[in-house]
Amino acid sequence: MAKKSKRVRMHPTKGGNPRKAVCVHCREIVGIVQLGDHDTVWRDPENARNQWIGRMTDAKRAFKGREPVRLRIIEDDEVIPAGVCDNCERKAGRQLELMEKGGLLFSCKMCHGSGVLPPSPETFQARLEMGIPAPEPAKLEFSDGCPLCAGGKESTDE
């Protein structure tokens, strides 16, 4: 069986078509992506969150045979979300440690922020009321302001 080539198929006018790759969380530059002729964004017809950059045939295969919907052509100065930076990786590790010790994930409908509340008598009480003991994941959702809205900083940004 012949091995599939890993070479980038060159774009007719843009060559390798290099773009900055940024962290999917904080948008810090994490590298360079060579798009080549893969400059179209496709969407899964059954799940709008699933998107694919590349050729339609590859998108169709990724979407398990469903006909992809063409969203747009990637702009020349557009950055590509690809991977997670070292800072976000460390932050996720610290958040997991805090959660396992009794902290709580939180999100806020008002500021759209999220983070982890460190273990405290209040988080243990909230977990008790929810019936979710540590180290199981548990989440609070604030609708009228959170620690971030109040001017505090997320507990895991130390």
**Distance, CA of 52 to CA of 59 (rounded, Å):** 6
**Distance, CA of 94 to CA of 100 (rounded, Å):** 10
Query: How many CA atoms within 13 Å lie on the side-chain side of 120?
Result: 7
Query: What per-residue confidence (pLDDT) applies to 156?
Result: 43
Query: What per-residue confidence (pLDDT) applies to 157?
Result: 44
Query: What per-residue confidence (pLDDT) applies to 35?
Result: 86
Contact between residue 71 and residue 39 where contact means Cβ atoms under 8 Å apart? no
Query: What per-residue confidence (pLDDT) applies to 7?
Result: 73
Q: What does the domain layout of the chain look like in residue ranges?
A: 18-81, 86-142
**Distance, CA of 133 to CA of 8 (rounded, Å):** 49
User: pLDDT by residue for the chain (158 residues), tens digit each?
Assistant: 455 556 777 878 888 888 899 998 889 999 988 888 888 999 999 988 888 888 899 899 989 999 999 999 989 888 988 888 999 999 989 988 998 899 999 988 888 888 899 999 999 999 999 999 888 888 889 888 788 887 755 544 44
